């Protein structure tokens, strides 16, 4: 089963035994409980530094939170996000289909 970002955020919060308000206080600036609720319901997405903090709290990485898939460039071994590049931004090698 694949979870949405919001479901993953909620799981992390619950695993920590925190209320939405307590979870929000772990961020600088503080995220209100209504903001945390919007994240958990997939109405909005946390900004980058908050995503990084959520990943830290869940002992994971942002890429896993966002369900990003990677492939490695055959020429220079750079990790490419599968859906975003048609060629390697480092060496210019065209991505294999």
Domain holding 83, by residue range, is 68-97
Structural domains counted in the chain: 2
Domain co-membership, 43 together with 55: yes
Q: For tokens 């530094």, what's the residue?
A: 49
Taking the complete model, does pTM exceed 0.95, yes or no?
A: no
Domain co-membership, 77 together with 61: no
Lowest mean pLDDT among 1-10, 27-36, 38-47, 83-92: 83-92
Domain co-membership, 57 together with 92: no
* Token output for 48: 């980058």
Beta strands 79-81 and 70-72, pairing class = antiparallel
The whole-number average pLDDT for the span 28-42 is 97
Beta strands in 1-97 (DSSP E): 70-72, 79-81
Domain co-membership, 9 together with 48: yes
Domain co-membership, 18 together with 58: yes
Mean pLDDT of the chain: 87
């Amino acid at each position: 089963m694949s979870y949405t970002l919001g479901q993953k955020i909620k799981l992390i919060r619950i695993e920590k035994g925190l209320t939405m308000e307590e979870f929000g206080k772990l961020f600088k600036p503080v995220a209100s409980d209504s903001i945390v609720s919007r994240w958990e319901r997939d109405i909005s997405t946390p900004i980058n530094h908050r995503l990084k903090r959520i990943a830290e709290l869940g002992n994971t990485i942002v890429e896993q939170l966002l369900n990003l898939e990677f492939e490695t460039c055959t020429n220079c071994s750079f990790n490419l996000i599968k859906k975003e590049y048609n060629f390697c931004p480092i060496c210019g090698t065209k991505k294999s289909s």
